[in-house]
Structure 1
Amino acid sequence: MADLPYSLTELRASRSGAHRDRTLGVAVVGAGYWGPNLARNFHRSEQWDLRAVCDLDLDRADGLAGQYGAKAFGSLDEALDTVEIDAVAIATPARTHHSVALTALGAGKHVLVEKPLADRWDKGADMVSVADAKGLVLMADHTYCYTPAVQKMRELLHEGELGDILYIDSVRINLGLVQPDVDVFWDLAPHDLSILEYVLPGGLTPEAVSAHGADPLGTGHDCVGHLSFDLPFGGMAHIHVNWLSPTKIRQMVIGGTRRTLVWDDLNPQQRLSVYDRGIQLPTNGGRGSRNGADRRDAAISYRLGDTWSPALPEREALGQMVEEFAAAIRGERASATSGMSALRVLGILEATTRSLTTGGAQAPMGGAPAASAYARQIVDQDMEQEEGALKQEAGA
């Protein structure tokens, strides 16, 4: 490559500019539960043109496509051969995400994937590796991260308004549909994990997780679960998920050394509350004073300050998400829910499963596996094509 005037990296970087002055074409794969929500928001956006809907049930695909003037196809391959698109949005079962995403990435299309990124961490790593090597955007549809409340949570935490994080308690319970192919952790916990990955400075970086689950109905999958892991500076996070509760709760409490934040997603009048209340220890020079003998001997007092609720705009999170996808493709900014961030969430889910098989023992996070032969083949073919293009530009 030394004799070529441009590098592959430069060639890939130049591609983003090609998208800036035109509407982006997208195909939605999956017309079942979530696909219609994606289709509606892509159709509403001025950044996007919904051009295709794909589903194995062609009648269902045709019904959704017909609402927005798009074309219906029984497979993504058929759509790629027929319609000019820039991106593919995947709303199919998690076990299919890997194959559908690699088909789209192999065709040079940017990819948006419904949570979770994949049904196994090594498959998700494959998807991230191929997208990175081909200079394409791989983004996860972690919808909660685009709600005004969660975006405000991120702002407060990144500005240090809560201080050092001491604990996180998250509850996501309801009388829900018992899924046939995943347990309650894989169904519900991705929401809470993706929120924490988004709002915590530095994201989610646990070294190990511990999980306990129960299947009192004998469904074959845990219906009730508790997941915990350590946070920096000695803090702890706990996530409770449950399909069997007659009451629905969507709440997260993040306690810090300065303030405590409470998110209640089911309270539209006051989704966020910030409490200037808590245990007060003598500081004597900062964080280190909360450790050792000084901490044990300190006299505990209680801080009883004000409580306030920030004003939040009302907007649909999915609308914000599709705008973010377009901005990432156009090179305006990196996606807030990138493939790499989704892979960290997936790694915690997989470690959760390992912990469950050992009776709740701590399960360390896995290391990075090598890309699969299929993924390497896709990347190698792309490299050969780009090298040929560079040689042609150089007059070789």
Structure 2
Amino acid sequence: MSALRVAVVGCGYWGPKLARNLHEMDNVELHWLCDLVPENLARVATLCPEARLTTNMDDVLQSDVDAVVLVTPVSSHHALAMKALRSGKHVLVEKPLATTEREATELAETADRQGLVAMVGHTFQHNPAVNAVRDLMRSGELGEVYYLDATRANLGLFQPDINVMWVLAPHDVSIFLHLLEDSPEEVSAEGAACVQRQRCIHDVVYLKLFFPGAVLANVRVSWLDPVKTRRLIVVGSKKMLVYDDIAENKVMLYDKGVERPPYSTTPEEFHLSYRHGPETPVEFEWREPLRVECEAFANWITTGQPACSDAWMGVRVVRVLEAAQRSLMDGGGRGPVQL
């Protein structure tokens, strides 16, 4: 089977990381690198010297490439992805898929109609640590899942045209959807625009997702924190776990919990039992998530095996973010996620 011919459009911060992974894959040939800034192209060209360089995406679309990887500003995702799909190219679009559910849905429907692959860069859905957490939840070892609590914070990188929720929260929303295998019924969001106050671009947001079965998922995202934090806590009726993406032991399982007596109708009968069992690191085979994502994209195109982060998953994430944005603008009120 001939190698998959791929182009990367957008070579700023994240594009070179995708280009490196694609360049290192045996079944992929990186034919084009495209960016509006020549200096960006020159920098990434050292990683992939065989790729052709251009500042015009039309050069890419008029070529014989099979697929286009879009790593451009969020506001451009819809227009550029639609242009690629209409040119008969498969697309991998960096998250979020689009800025509105309507635009995201149009992309997904266009890909389906034309028989093309449209995938979103929800990298954490391909992360072995996240999938180890998912396996534990599926196995029932945690018991009934009560809630999930995530923090994704750092100092920067501030964006001039989009708030922190749209940049960082897609990671955690996609993780929640992946782990719970469901969609939230309602959301609420509150935040503050501390640095870009006049432009009302929020740099810290507290987002709550209300899932069926009274499962609550919270995430705090911030560009204004002194310490980089990438952590998720999952609390169940039997056990609890912590996934810390920065720690050496990324997933720790805690045999801890609270047990209540079957009958406690009076204060005298209300005696809770606290369990403090061992803390155990969860073992799993680690691979670079971005490589797994790139392999899933290539595999879908060549074998027809869909990836978990398809365009319709992207639609679901954007739907949640759009509902959260409405709540954010309305002062934090709890509102429905439109289905």
TM-score norm. by structure 1 comes to 0.80
Question: Which of residues 188, 191, 196 is equivalent to 1:213?
Answer: 191
Residue 309 of structure 1 corresponds to 281
Q: Select the residue among 216, 227, 238 that pairs with 2:207.
A: 227
The residue aligned with 1:336 is 308
| Cα shift readout 1:100-158 (whole Å, capped 9, x = no counterpart) | 11111111211101111112221111101101111211111112222221121122122
Per the alignment, in what secondary structure is the counterpart of residue 308 of structure 1?
A: strand
Aligned-partner SS, 1:199: helix
Measure the CA separation in 2 of the matches of 1:26 and 1:90.
Answer: 11
C-alpha offsets along residues 255-299 of structure 1, whole Å, 9 cap, x if unaligned? 11221110111112x111011111123579xxxxxxx989xx875
Match of 2:105 in 1: 125
Q: Which among 168, 172, 176 is matched to residue 196 of structure 1?
A: 176
> Partner letter of residue 313 of structure 1?
E
Are 1:70 and 2:42 an aligned pair? no
**How much has 1:58 moved relative to structure 2?**
4.1
* Pick aligned residue for 1:356 from 312, 328, 338: 328
Q: Which has the larger radius of gyration?
A: 1
**Partner in structure 1 of residue 60 of structure 2:** 79
Encode CA deviations 1:28-65: one digit per residue, 9 max, x unaligned. 11111111111111000012110011122345335534
* Higher share in strand: 2
SS in 1 for 2:108: helix
Gaps of 5+ in 2: none
Q: Partners of 1:293 and 1:35 in 2: how far apart?
A: 60
Separation of aligned partners in 1, 2:125 and 2:11: 23
Bigger helix fraction: 1
The alpha-carbon distance between structure 1 residues 307 and 105, as it changes in their structure 2 partners (threshold 3 A), is: same
Partner of 1:281: 260
Contact 1:164 1:233 in 2 (8 A): no
Give the corresponding residue for 1:95: 75
SS state at 1:330 partner: helix
Q: Is the 8 A contact 1:279 1:303 kept in 2?
A: yes
Which residue of 1 is the match for residue 30 of structure 2?
A: 50
Q: Which amino acid aligns with 1:328?
A: W
Quick one: which of 250, 267, 270 aligns to 1:271?
Answer: 250
Residue 109 of structure 1 aligns with which residue? 89
In 1, distance between residues paired with 2:226 and 2:42?
A: 37
Query: TM-score, normalization: structure 2?
Result: 0.92
Aligned partner of 2:295 in structure 1 is: 323
Q: Distance in 2 between matches of 1:227 and 1:120?
A: 18
Aligned positions, number? 334
1:388 is matched with none
Q: What is the aligned-residue RMSD (CA, Å)?
A: 2.1
> C-alpha deviations, 1:2-29, integer Å up to 9, x for none?
xxxxxxxxxxxxxxxxxxx221110111
The whole-number CA distance in structure 1 between the counterparts of 2:265 and 2:318 is 39
1:26 aligns with 2:3: no
